[in-house]
Structure 1
Amino acid sequence: MTTRSDIEKMILRVAMQDRAAFEALYAATSAKLFGIILRVLKDRAAAQDVLQDVYLRLWQGGASSFRAGRASPITWLATVARNRAIDRLRRDRPATPLDQAPEVADSAKGPEALAIDASDRARIDGCLDELKPDRAAAVRGAYLDGDTYADLAARHDVPLNTMRTWLRRSLMSLKDCLTR
């Protein structure tokens, strides 16, 4: 199991252009980051593009902006990934009003993709149901609805650092649940 300290060290080594650390960081974090990006974009191909962009930016100097001790390394990576996904959404947003937008061919997913999505969604929902209701609501708000930690802390009437702790611990619980 990769620990917080391991991920932190990998990020710091990636900042020094250590290829082995980059490969290890990708192996340890890409599935989680992909899930976050996919939830924001709701498009697998776009999510894969953004995930590649996240790691490319880390390699090209983005890792040097990580400050050990200020934030959990996985939270930092998740924030970077979420922000890149939101940037992609904003960039791809239609420039014209919907009533004036040109017609687009149906890009609906096929039955197999829908079944896989439904299965994944059911597993995640089942794991979220294992959390306390307020923790599950905070996770949904932060990672599905794009709420900021400050907004969530105010909504749940808890200090900001408590909200960060809730989210970190909840994500660890979700990870444990999803690996069962």
Structure 2
Amino acid sequence: MDDRDEVSRLLARIALRDAQAFEALYRLAAPRLMAVALRVTQDRAMAEDVLQDVFVTLWNQSIVAAPGQHRTQAWLCVVTRHRAIDVLRRRKPEESLHGRDEFGEEQTYDVPAEGGSPMEQLLADEADVQLGRCMGTLEAEPKRALLLAFYEGLTHMEIAARMQRPLGTIKAWTRRSLMRLKGCMEALA
């Protein structure tokens, strides 16, 4: 049996929801179809998406050839190529951050900062300074317990074990320290 008959036979079985036929078609055609998609898209991830889309369509839409017509591997290659071209057409073009204005001078376009506006960054920095001042008012051991809880993510029991202090003491230090920090931050605001 040649390739043309095998692909047609497998597609007919896939139309009947035969999972083994689908797997056999994938093993037979996927490497060549991946090569076609990759040649068109020039991007491996995009080519993999195209290949997946082609096979999902083959499974979901019973594509059976008309009488006297054969669906061959060449036909699958054409379908894959067209699907890859469609994906490229739908993709939004990337804008260059560099360009030339009407006078021929090179221009660079700004990209929004990820950290927020300058005012938001200033307020955050100011809050960090205030928090540092307030942390400086805490006693050494309660401060260490608080830092272990928030910066290392330790539980009260883990902090008690590490600092070799009773669990109740750690809980009290953490609660009192948080209340002092809140009061201090409110006073500075």
TM-score (norm 2): 0.47
Higher relative contact order (CA 8 A, sep 6+): 1
| More helix by percentage | 1
TM-score (norm 1): 0.49
